[in-house]
Structure 1
Amino acid sequence: MFGNYLIGLREGLEASLVVCVLIAYLVKTGRRDALRPVWTGIGVAVGIALAFGAGLEFGSQELTFEAQELLGGSLSILAVVLVTWMVFWMRRTARNLRAELHGKLDAALATGTGALVATAFLAVGREGLETALFVWASVRASSDGSHAPLAGVVLGLATAVLLGWLFYRGAVRIDLARFFTWTGGMLVVVAAGVLAYGVHDLQEARFLGGLADKAFDVSAAVPPDSWYGTLLKGVLNFQPDPTVLQVTVWALYLVPTLALFLSPIGSGPSVRVEKQKATDEKAEAGAADPAV
């Protein structure tokens, strides 16, 4: 349940912050007349996200077992790709999110009502679709036959809405960059479990082999129906008898992704190359200047 709560909190808070920034900017600049089209865009985005999630849940029930597993595994992997991109993107832009949204809103205000609706829709819609897909994949992966996974998501989203309102009222101030770094790291761990589960689905659909090749089996020590087995499954999507392929994919994703995510911003190879290039250019310019 905690893993699903974290997803709802993290994804919901991103959308809540976007809404808060848009609304607060319009109010502070005296453009309350633009609030209605912005809320219209937000409402349409939320509606489409809910419809997308419902389509995933109810549409997949009409398929055969193998087709369900193939769809579920494929969408789980897609969800992991999207959420991985999202946590890295938010890590880079958390400090400049307000300025970026203000710039887009200024351009929309100059264009007209339709542009305001589109701006709000795109800003919230992307978060909504990503959230719907990842929530569906995570709830499916951690489902234990109860409503606890879905309840965790709902509680996380409710907490995110409350925090968004408190941010807007100025009652809460936190270091967003640090918050998204910590929650992003935990979300990478959750995503690794979803990825492993997606691979298992593809194996059950007979799209991938190795279903009978178990890496280990600790079902006797960690029964899936025990409180600690349920806790591990809810938090980490832990499976007591994973296949070799599942464990391999889980490790190959988690270790490098988490290491890269937790590394200091600006320490990547591309940044070092750019810095070295700039240094070389300065040296060449100095060598060409006769006064040097």
Structure 2
Amino acid sequence: MKKLIILFGLLLYVLSPIQPVQAEEDYGNLFISVGDAMMKTKADDWKAVETLVAQLNEDWEQVDQAKSKEAKKVDKTLLEVNKALDKQEKEPMLTALSNLSHALVSFEKEQNPVDEEEQRLQVKSAFTPVLADLKTAIENKDAKSAYTQYQKFLTTWNRNESIVREQSIGYYGKIETQMGFLRIALLQEEKDFDQIQGIYNELAGAVNGFVSGKEIKASNDHYSLQTLIDLLGKANESVDNNQPKKAVPFLQEFLTVWPSVEGDVRTRNGGLYTKLESDIPVIAGKLSSGTDVKEQQEKINEYRQSIELLQAKKSYTMWDAALIMLREGLEALLIVAALIAFLRKANASQHQKWIWFGALAGILMSIVAAIFINMAFSAATAGANREAIEGVTGIIAVVMMIGVGVWLHQKSNMKSWNRYIQKQMGTALSTGSIVSMAFVSFLSIFREGAETIIFYMGMAPSISTGKLIAGIVLSLVILTVFAFLFIRYSAKISVGPFFKIATILIYFLAFKILGVSIHALQLTDHISTTQIHSLPIISWIGFYPTWETMIPQAVLLVIILLTAMWIRNKENKQ
């Protein structure tokens, strides 16, 4: 029996065509990054563009470019993209990305040659009988049969649309648009078969044009997610004015725009992509017939807010970046200044250098920690979703901020601050060791440096490099001024007001980062989204109207309130 099995296996090996062949290279990630970069450029989201282009450069370096003539063209166009990114001008950037897309298509065809004519023949054989049956149903004015044939067309399209999309974005968009129009027309209670026939002619013409290999240019209009939001808003206004039929043209225009922006929706929220593609024609059809108008309006508003949440920039300003460094630096600076002031009062100014040495060591160790955390961060997130990592990191930062805020709140009382400083000084000087004083300075700087790194990790994905650097530079300038004032006039300046202001700022930033971080996790479907349609999006404070973001933010506010009450009671007892 064993010999029979072995013999059977050898026979299968000889007869079957399983000789190893080199698998086709997949360059889908490159095309996705280019498409996303074009969408973000249209939306002026240059931070996202910068990230996507960096990913493009990295992915392209991993591609085997040996013995490729087309690879040099990709190198050239990618260089154009990087130069255009430096200038951050929309039109040159879009042109450079379009050139890169064409170069990548040529490179992919060179590396993975396919018979496009054979693919078009495949599309022709698949659609010819379906189009013929659909035409017959429409000519017979058989609404039920026409819709059944449309469903068959849709099924056939889902199986073949990737071929059309890869060969011609122009035909892909035209076919998708006419399919949407046809579905709207077939869903109307009173069917206008002249209109349906016209839509069918456009649809069949698009399919036949693609099959014949005719060229068609894609639309150059710079559509974005905001275009979809505006169109849904206009449709909603028409329904509000008791003119639901006037909303239909806006929804039809939505379908015209859709092929140009669907990639941005699909890559960020697959569920929403599927709903929009299938439901918008249904909504338009029912509004044109005056059916379930209120229900359709609710869906329009729901989808408009969903796209707004998708588009909402999870961004921070230069001032947000400055506040992080300023608050952390201010705390460390106060401790160092207090140490120096204490030495001066003790007539031991000659030992100040050890405090500065400790501070310098703290800075150096913070840099080492930054490098280590960055390496660990990169390793942990290789291949993972950046939005999800941003959300998790941001929540960690918020937890740390709560602790920092409580500490600041406690020290905002002058007596509490003096007790804290005396305790720190006493520990350092009671040992009689200058090293212990330097160690206090080192720990204060290193602790703040490490916290700053964690905070910036949560913020970095949602702020441009320029704003981040500007915020840090601004905070360093302010800290330099404070350092001079604290060290020169340390005995006269009250630190209480500074800590109170810093407490308010850190709590505000914690509220914002919490909302932004949960929103990032919602975009990646790691957390569900339950919208509250009556409330607006206020992205500058991190407020997104969903129960999943509002409840944690409410809990944070309760924690802040209870902390304030606890500290006040504690101060009253003391």
Q: Structure 1 length normalisation: TM-score?
A: 0.71
Shift of 1:163: 0.8
| Distance across 2 between alignment mates of 1:36 and 1:179 | 26
Task: Determine whether 1:73 maps to 2:391.
Answer: yes
The residue number in structure 1 matching 2:554 is 251
Match of 1:4 among 298, 317, 321: 321
The residue number in structure 1 matching 2:468 is 149
Q: 1:26 to 1:163 in 2, by over 3 A?
A: same
The residue number in structure 1 matching 2:489 is 170
| Distance across 2 between alignment mates of 1:132 and 1:48 | 12
1:33-72 deviations in whole A, cap 9, x for unaligned? 4323322221111122233334445653453353644543
| Distance across 2 between alignment mates of 1:39 and 1:2 | 28
Task: Confirm or deny: 8 A CA contact 2:518 2:527 kept in the other structure.
Answer: no
1:1-292 → structure 2 map (5 Å cutoff)? 1-57=318-374, 59-61=376-378, 63-66=381-384, 68-94=386-412, 95=414, 96-109=416-429, 110-141=431-462, 143=463, 145-170=464-489, 175-203=494-522, 208-210=526-528, 213-215=530-532, 233=540, 236-237=541-542, 243-253=546-556, 255-263=557-565, 265-267=567-569
Task: Confirm or deny: 8 A CA contact 2:532 2:545 kept in the other structure.
Answer: yes
Q: Which amino acid aligns with 1:51?
A: V
| Distance across 2 between alignment mates of 1:193 and 1:139 | 14
Q: 1:167 to 1:38 in 2, by over 3 A?
A: closer
1:83-117 deviations in whole A, cap 9, x for unaligned? 21112112212423344334333432324243233
| Distance across 2 between alignment mates of 1:92 and 1:194 | 23
| Distance across 1 between alignment mates of 2:502 and 2:434 | 36
The residue number in structure 1 matching 2:162 is none
1:117-169 deviations in whole A, cap 9, x for unaligned? 3222223222222222123323434x1x3521342133123312321221211
| Distance across 2 between alignment mates of 1:200 and 1:174 | 42
Unpaired runs of 5+ residues, structure 1, are: 223-228, 276-292
Q: 1:43 to 1:166 in 2, by over 3 A?
A: same
Q: 1:138 to 1:252 in 2, by over 3 A?
A: same
Shift of 1:172: 10
Q: 1:55 to 1:86 in 2, by over 3 A?
A: same
| Distance across 2 between alignment mates of 1:217 and 1:152 | 35
Q: Which amino acid aligns with 1:21?
A: A
Aligned length: 253
Give % identity. 23
Q: Structure 2 length normalisation: TM-score?
A: 0.39
Greater radius of gyration (CA): 2
Task: Confirm or deny: 8 A CA contact 2:393 2:457 kept in the other structure.
Answer: no
CA RMSD of aligned residues (A): 3.4
| Distance across 1 between alignment mates of 2:506 and 2:424 | 28
